[in-house]
Amino acid sequence: MTVVVGYVPNPEGEAAVTHAVREARARRTKLVLVNTSRGDALVDPRYAFEDQLAAIERRLVEEGVEHTSVHAITGTEPALAILEVADTHGAELIVLGVRRRSPVGKLIMGSTAQRVLLEATVPVLAVKAPRQ
Amino acid sequence: MDVWASLLEGFANAATPENLLYALVGVILGTAVGVLPGLGPAMTVALLLPVTYALEPTSAFIMFAGIYYGGMYGGSTTSILLNTPGESSSVVTAIEGNKMAKSGRASQALATAAIGSFVAGTIGSILLVLCAPIVVEFAISLGSPSYFAIMVLALIAVTAVLGSSRVRGFSALGLGLAVGLVGMDPVSGQSRLTFGEPLLADGLDVVVVAVAIFAVGEALWVAAHLRRTAAHVIPVGRPWMGREDWGRSWKPWLRGTAYGFPFGALPAGGAEIPTFLSYVTEKRLSKKPEEFGHGAIEGVAGPEAANNASAAGTLVPMLSLGLPTNATAAVMLAALVQYGIQPGPLLFDREPQLVWALIASLFIGNTLLLLINLPLAPAWAKLLQIPRPYLYAGILFFATLGAYSVNLQSFDLAVLLVLGALGFAMRRYGLPVLPLVIGLILGPRIEQQLRKSLQLSSGEWSGLWSEPVAIGVYVVIGLILAWPLLARLLRRSRAVPVTASDDTPTEAEQELVDRRNR
């Protein structure tokens, strides 16, 4: 059994990792970090730099959590990648960072979190970034 | 009439609220397509041709000029922040610009590019005001034989000088001339290449052909090998420059302008060669040559000034002779013809309002570009987050809509598809698109001049070289065609190849050469 966390290099992503670490410790399971991009735009700010990912992995090592990372340009939506990883790694929990959204914003923008929430077969923990 | 009085009158026409609005729309659109790699001003103007039928020609051309200049500006943003040139004329900018951005000097790189473009664009526009009437005066004295020779020179130069392979260039030129031939012979009324299809009797609509080759062909080509990558834009604040940056930038700006303007005005000059020359010059002259390759501001300032000055230079032959020297000018010329305006030396006499408003709008557009580019550069970079499939789907949609709306014939859609496939195939097999478009647009006019010359000399071929200017131009054409042979002979006569140590290309220059050849 594992805990799968969808990581994005922003405050929501950091918060998700923090909570995922807590959950993985409590459940004594492995952590799987997922950060993918569809790769069809020239620039994707939600795809982590190698050094950003390395920093997160260092943090996980320091916290003493066993982990693996899935960091790739998959050509599919990140939501699908998270669900697939959850499936193959036998996840018991998926942790996601979510953003505050206005109703109009929700209408226009597709949401990774929404899709995972709707389609996941295991419990999903939605985490907001702490308010500054 | 006095040039400056005409220019002031042009300002009066260009500064109406309506035309200012079109100038603004033009520069915003132009910057956007400049920022996005794979979209260029030629494609945008082609896509907008059907839309602008409803506009006054003056307004339409003010918008087109804005798109053209905006495209030159926008390319630098992508080059600097992403190391992917937004336009072919910004390839050189990427070398030093991206290095500057990586070392935390993105703001200065963007600022020197934007201000340099403004300076060069303004000087270029002033040179245009000064040069164009002189060229017109000279051109009016020319007869059909000389005109024919000059147009042949333009075709040969574009085909033989640019691009890596002459065979491919001439193949593309042949295709363009053939497409231009379709329809009725203007003198005898015979049908040519119509294959018994009555809808082809009027010839292929230039708009449909331009949209097919530039928009459909390009979109299919990019979509066919969409590489999945996710890069990061280097974060940047508001562009600004320190005292030292100004001191190091202003000379490269002026030198870049001096390279760019004449090259833009020459057939086959284009914007790529002067940007490269400017880069090499700045590298030689720099007081800090060791900085080159690690983000030297001169390497951004010079080439960016050069490409904007060449944009102004391009308008000299376009307005005064009706000769397009690059793809955007070719499409703009097609637009002139669509409006029923005859391009050529008489344009200044017959349409002074249009010409001078267009020139005045260049000054206005340049200023607008500086105003919207300095504070908004980070916002423009956000455009790169648009998923590319959306962009190309949108382009195909507007291309189809535009092609249909020209004549409201479904036949045009078939033409669009066939020529779009041709455009795709040309890119696939490395045929340059520019000779095709120039051939298509100049072809019918060359034919007209040829027929006229032959009529004047009552069918004697010697009539073609009856004017001294024509003979001179034919000599130049001969030199261009014989150049590879001559170069080989010269090289053979020099037994030992010269390899000075400072002539070996650096890694960055080599990369540039590779990119150009690709």
Per residue in B27-85, pLDDT tens? 999 999 888 887 888 888 888 888 888 888 899 999 999 999 898 888 888 888 888 77
In whole angstroms, give the CA distance from residue B303 to residue B284.
Answer: 14
Per DSSP, helices labelled H in B191-242 are 206-210, 217-224
Residues B235 and B101: beta-carbon distance below 8 Å: no
CB spacing of A41 vs B228 below 8 angstroms: no
CB spacing of A41 vs B233 below 8 angstroms: no
Q: Is the dihedral of CA B154, B158, B160, B166 positive or negative?
A: negative
Among chain B residues, the shortest Cα distance to A48 is held by B232
Among chain B residues, the shortest Cα distance to A77 is held by B387
In whole angstroms, give the CA distance from residue B451 to residue B148.
Answer: 10
Single-letter residue type at B307: N
**Closest Cβ opposite residue A75 in set B82, B84, B228:** B228
Report pLDDT for B269.
Answer: 66
* Chains A, B: CB pairs < 8 Å: 47
CB spacing of B233 vs A45 below 8 angstroms: yes
φ, ψ at B216 (rounded to 5°): -65, -50
* Residue B387: DSSP 8-state: B
CB spacing of A42 vs B231 below 8 angstroms: yes
> Parallel, antiparallel, or unpaired: how do β-strands A30-37 and A67-73 relate?
parallel
Single-letter residue type at B119: V
Question: Which of B152, B147, B63 minimizes the C-alpha distance to B343?
Answer: B147
For the beta carbon of residue B379, count every other beta carbon within 10 angstroms: 10
Interface predicted TM-score (ipTM): 0.73
The single residue listed with the structure tokens 């833009």 is B264
For the beta carbon of residue B476, count every other beta carbon within 10 angstroms: 14
Three-class DSSP category at A43: strand
Mutation to test the A interface, candidates B33, B77, B232, B234, most A Cβ within 10 Å: B232
Mutation to test the B interface, candidates A35, A37, A42, A46, most B Cβ within 10 Å: A42
Q: Does B225 touch chain A (CB under 8 A)?
A: no
Residues B78 and B84: beta-carbon distance below 8 Å: yes
Residues A40 and B389: beta-carbon distance below 8 Å: yes
Beta bridge partners of B269: none
pLDDT digits (tens), chain B, 518 positions: 578 888 888 898 888 999 999 999 999 999 998 888 878 888 888 888 888 888 888 999 999 999 998 988 888 888 888 887 777 778 888 888 888 888 888 888 888 999 999 999 999 999 999 988 888 888 888 888 888 898 898 888 888 776 678 888 899 999 999 998 888 887 788 888 888 888 888 888 888 898 898 889 888 888 887 766 767 777 776 777 888 888 888 889 999 999 989 888 887 667 788 888 898 888 888 887 788 888 888 889 999 999 899 988 999 988 888 888 888 888 888 888 888 888 888 888 888 888 999 999 999 999 999 988 888 888 888 888 888 888 888 889 999 998 888 888 889 999 999 999 999 999 888 888 888 988 888 888 888 889 888 888 888 888 888 888 888 889 988 888 888 888 888 887 765 444 444 444 445 555 554 444 43
Question: Which of B3, B66, B86 minimizes the C-alpha distance to B361?
Answer: B66
pLDDT for B277-333, tens place per residue? 898 888 888 887 788 888 888 889 999 999 899 988 999 988 888 888 888 888 888
For the beta carbon of residue A90, count every other beta carbon within 10 angstroms: 13
In whole angstroms, give the CA distance from residue B444 to residue B15.
Answer: 35
In whole angstroms, give the CA distance from residue B141 to residue B136.
Answer: 9
Per DSSP, helices labelled H in B83-105 are 91-102
Q: Does B381 touch chain A (CB under 8 A)?
A: yes
pLDDT for B447-485, tens place per residue? 888 988 888 888 888 888 888 888 888 998 888 888 888
Closest chain A C-alpha to B404 CA, distance in angstroms: 29
Structure tokens at A52: 């950003």
In whole angstroms, give the CA distance from residue B471 to residue B152.
Answer: 12
Among chain A residues, the shortest Cα distance to B387 is held by A41
Residues B51 and B93: beta-carbon distance below 8 Å: no
Structure tokens at B472: 């001179």
Helix axes of B217-224 and B410-428: crossing angle, nearest 10 degrees: 50
